[in-house]
Amino acid sequence: MLLVLVGRDEAPAWRSAATRRAAYAAAAGGWALLAGSAIAAATYAAVRHAPSPDGPGAPAGPGALGWLAVELAVSTVLLLTPRYPLLAWRLAYLAAVFAPLIPGQNRVDTGYYVLATIAFVVASLRYGLRPSLVMAALMLLPVWLWTGPDWVYPIRLTVGLVILTAALYAVGRWRGDRRALAAQTRQTRQQRERNAVLEERARIAREMHDVVAHRMSMIAVQAETAPYRITGLPGDAQAEFAALSQAAREALTEMRGLLGVLRSTDGDAELVPQPQLGDVPDLVAAARRAGAEVTLAMPDNSKMLSPTVGLTVYRIVQESLSNAGRHAPGARISVVVREEPRYVRIDIRNEPPAAGQRRTDGAGHGLAGMRERVALIGGQLDAGPEADGGFAVRAVLPAGGQP
């Protein structure tokens, strides 16, 4: 009750600037239409000299100008409705209640009820069920006070108001359910993206462990065998090699302890050698056997890339081929890998889906994993749709695996 009578109108949450402009344009158009109708009614009444100023029709003769002035003043509440619907409703409601007391005004002025109904609809959609029930109950007061003497017209208006209130409640519930569903969908999508990033980071960490562990093991072995392979080493050098071997083995132990929590239950599958750049042709061949039309252009792996970069290139090509097969079945795919003195460039593009093939929707988490891999070694990745409807993935990686 207090919100309806003296409460403050909250600022509307416009979905966009275009929505706000459309609402104000509709309000201005409605005001112009109502004002034009009032002017036409007053002009017609003045010309015809209608003799019934207290009837349901337009006022007559000299009272037409007074009625027109009040009508135009009240109709400006339409301009307030988009931003201040409660204030607009209060003004229209007061006009419906007290305007019949002004000499020359109608007891039943349709314009006031139209204004109050429009403001009532907007305020109900914004503030919900309880304020709408209060407004609907108050709107029945002028209906039963000034209409009559029979009960037909008040009953009709009452039934219409009840139906309108029920419809507004249903629309409000529908909008609320849609907002809740959209919020839940957005939260679920964000959670899936976070999970995808965490899973990819764990996978990267496991693969990095395999790469680094091999190098650290080689350091430990070389440090331990150095005194036997190199004759005449002084005692200090032998102690230095022993300390180096011990540090390498301690680093391996600590790293295995930290990475142990990232190992999945099927850890035996992690023991296979990690793929490298030289395995990309086998990957493309497997895609061709699955029915994909793939072209490959890449060097003969003449440059010795770091294992991290080679693994990253392989994973990017692997994920891109998988995404193309899911989202654009039947489309031609081109894979280009170029080696430069300091960088490795990857350009993978698929055409739009072939005619007659249905596009399969997907969560799109593979891009998040690729970005994690590329960011890990200081590279850059750009992925997105092309103008012709295809999709492209382009990456630039440091050849040495460091930013």
For the chain, list residues with pLDDT below 50.
49-61, 265-271, 360-363
| Residue 301 CB burial class (10 angstroms; 0-12, 13-18, ≥19) | middle
State pLDDT tens for residues 254-275: 766 666 655 554 444 444 566 7
pTM metric for this prediction: 0.45
DSSP 97: H
pLDDT in the model for residue 57 = 45
**Residues with Cβ < 8 Å from 270, sequence gap 6 or more?**
206, 210, 263, 264
Output the pLDDT for position 48. Answer: 60
Q: According to the model, what pLDDT value does residue 61 have?
A: 45
Q: What's the whole-number average pLDDT of the chain?
A: 76
User: What is the structure's pLDDT at 54?
Assistant: 47
d(CA 208, CA 262) in angstroms, rounded, equals: 12
pLDDT tens by residue, 182-211: 888 888 888 887 887 777 777 777 666 666
Q: Please say whether the beta carbons of 399 and 339 come within 8 A.
A: yes
- Backbone φ and ψ of 144, nearest 5°: -85, -20
Q: For residue 225, what pLDDT is reported?
A: 78
